[in-house]
Amino acid sequence: MGSYLDFYRRSIEAPEAFWAEQARLIDWERPFDAVLDASRPPFARWFVGGRTNLCHNAVDRHLATRADQPALVFESTETDQRRQYTYAQLHAEVNRTAAMLRSLGVKRGDRVIVYMPMVPEAVFVLLACARLGAIHSVVFGGFAAHSLAMRIDDAKPVLLVTADAGMRAGRVVPYKPLVDEALTLAKHPPARVLVLDRGLVPNSPVTPERDVDFATLGREHEGARVPVEWMESSEPSYILYTSGTTGKPKGVQRDTGGYAVALASSMRHIYTGQPGEVMFTASDIGWVVGHSYIVYGPLLNGMTTVLYEGLPIRPDAAVWWRLIEQYRVSVMFTSPTAIRILKKQDAAFLKRHDTSSLRYLFLAGEPLDAPTHAWISDALPSTQVLDNYWQTETGWPILGPVPGVEPRKRKLGSPGAAIYGYRVKLVDGLSGEEVTAANQKGVLVIQPPLPPGCLSTVWGDDARFVSTYFSSFDTPLYNTFDWATRDADGDYFILGRTDDVINVAGHRLGTREIEEAISGHPAIAEVAVVGVKDELKGQVVMAFAVPKDPARLQREEDRDALSREVMDTVGRTLGAVARPAAVYVVANLPKTRSGKLLRRSIQAVAEDREPGDLTTIEDPGALEGIQAALKARPPKA
């Protein structure tokens, strides 16, 4: 084991030689002609001319040595079901699913929307898409019909795969009615819908000629064998939509070869999972963590991956620790929010099961506060708890420890130093000049070319890729839109967002998207949405709405009724994940004399901080009105 500093320097100073070595971790059907083509900055193409396939690398190549090893373990505390698939069984299921998709017209380059709960069939569909060379786009099962329709119109899929329902906290969440509504709203609805009937909704609606039953079609393709479609490294593997500062979601486009290499490398060097070991990532396939470290990463590495449908505290707060004991989990990955939820439970739950197999617990998705880090570290004495920082756009960590190369002393509150391959800098938010002094605040940026595995562009919109991520400063730099500091040892501390994206329990929500949804309510004249610090979730959404009719301000019952209506509007339009923690009905919103909304001042007041320089405010009474509303009625979670 060498020095991580030397390892990092080689990745920056000799990136082509470095990544050519990492590329040996996966199979190539045709070797690449060049490691990197950065001739059209800020775009980068990795392993140019090489041909590979994510499904082959995740499944087929392990059959010779791991056919009988468990590949996928499924546990649902919602339905009390468990299933297990060896690599041979996973190979058979993925082939059958690929044949099913092919029979519905899916071919290389086609898009498939996946709107499914955490069930094995969802994993089969993703891997089957990769096998066929189709581009999957998973939409989180909690998203509402309007949000789903927007993503359908952007991706223009030939097929949508869904289920009758998901479950959360023992409650059935019907998916099919949302899909049906989304397809009536969409301008480019797919011709066919493949529906997995879990038996959760009696008489789930069916549209003849369009809807196809998953089980029935599956029986027709039992035992099918579908050859792998070899993809040029830069061809897209999937689209994953993420909220931006505009209402229209951004389709993060991922390549094939670069992503496979980055994940295989990260499994070895960062997460230190060994082939044959078990990894449990408690996330959802609707998020990037689920793509990278439930589905692709562990399987690329020949591990067993645990797919869990349920909450961390149901049936009780020991359920995760039971899974660790039962399956001898070596590496776990979840969010700080989940640990904060567990922290509120009886500590005895942590001692109920043997967790000695767990070497590492990785946490990401939002800043990890020092008290939570310290608590879980003490609670799991045989486990190293490690923070790491990354984004949907990068697909794997930007900052963090690399224990597979060299263990480093952790610092509470810091994810760590720059990960190999990333040219990370801090720059002044206005001038773009590099910030070099220790502990000085700056915007966290990455100097292109971005390393393998990062987004290659925004789906169908190269101009938006450049304007969103590389146009903040005079020099083209990838903007993470996060403030940070760096100490004298090179370790970073994330301070919060520079833009109007709210991070709720690791879910990124655009303020503009929520504001547009609220503005759709006929009684609302104007609205401001901000993210407010929350001890449990990191941030929560708060909305401040001005009614068209001032009379609705007069009585508390009228204000409360309007608040509930606004919350319901957001729930219907964007889904429960975007529903505000509180909606305050106010007379005015604070603005500058030029009409710019002072969201930062609203946020400061909501967090009981000084609102800053108010010399530019047009109506100081607007901020006082917000302060009065906050004092009069505490937020409703």
Domain with CATH 3.30.300.30 in the chain: 503-632
Q: Does residue 635 carry a pLDDT above 60?
A: no
Tens digit of each residue's pLDDT (9 = 90 or more) over 372-390: 898 999 999 999 999 999 9
pLDDT tier for residue 623 given thresholds of 50, 70 and 90: confident
Tens digit of each residue's pLDDT (9 = 90 or more) over 286-330: 999 999 999 999 999 999 999 999 999 999 999 999 999 999 999
Mean pLDDT computed over 626-634: 80
d(CA 139, CA 385): 30
Percentage of the chain surpassing pLDDT 90?
71
Cβ neighbours of residue 34 closer than 8 Å, sequence gap 6 or more:
47, 48, 49
Domain with CATH 3.40.50.980 in the chain: 86-229
Q: Does residue 162 carry a pLDDT above 50?
A: yes
Q: Does residue 614 carry a pLDDT above 90?
A: no
pLDDT attached to residue 371: 82
List own/partner pairs for 25-29 with CB under 8 A and 24 or more apart: 25/261, 25/264, 25/265, 25/268, 25/300, 26/52, 26/57, 26/257, 26/260, 26/261, 26/264, 26/300, 27/52, 27/56, 27/57, 27/61, 28/52, 28/257, 29/53, 29/56, 29/230
Q: Does residue 592 carry a pLDDT above 80?
A: no
The neighbour count for residue 3, using CB atoms within 10 Å, is 10
pLDDT attached to residue 552: 85
State phi, psi for 8 to the nearest 5 degrees. -65, -45
pLDDT tier for residue 621 given thresholds of 50, 70 and 90: confident
Question: 503-632: what CATH class?
Answer: alpha beta
Tens digit of each residue's pLDDT (9 = 90 or more) over 322-375: 999 999 999 999 988 888 889 888 888 989 999 999 999 999 987 787 888 989
Cβ neighbours of residue 509 closer than 8 Å, sequence gap 6 or more:
243, 501, 502, 503, 531, 541, 577, 578
Provide DSSP, 363-395: E-SS---HHHHHHHHHHSTTSEEEE-B--TTTS
d(CA 593, CA 617): 6
pLDDT attached to residue 244: 56
Range 86-229 has CATH code 3.40.50.300:
no
Q: Does residue 504 carry a pLDDT above 80?
A: no
pLDDT attached to residue 438: 95
The CA radius of gyration of the chain, in Å to the nearest whole number, is 24
Q: Are 127 and 151 in contact (CB under 8 A)?
A: no
Q: Are 309 and 75 in contact (CB under 8 A)?
A: yes
Mean pLDDT computed over 15-32: 98
Q: Are 54 and 27 in contact (CB under 8 A)?
A: no
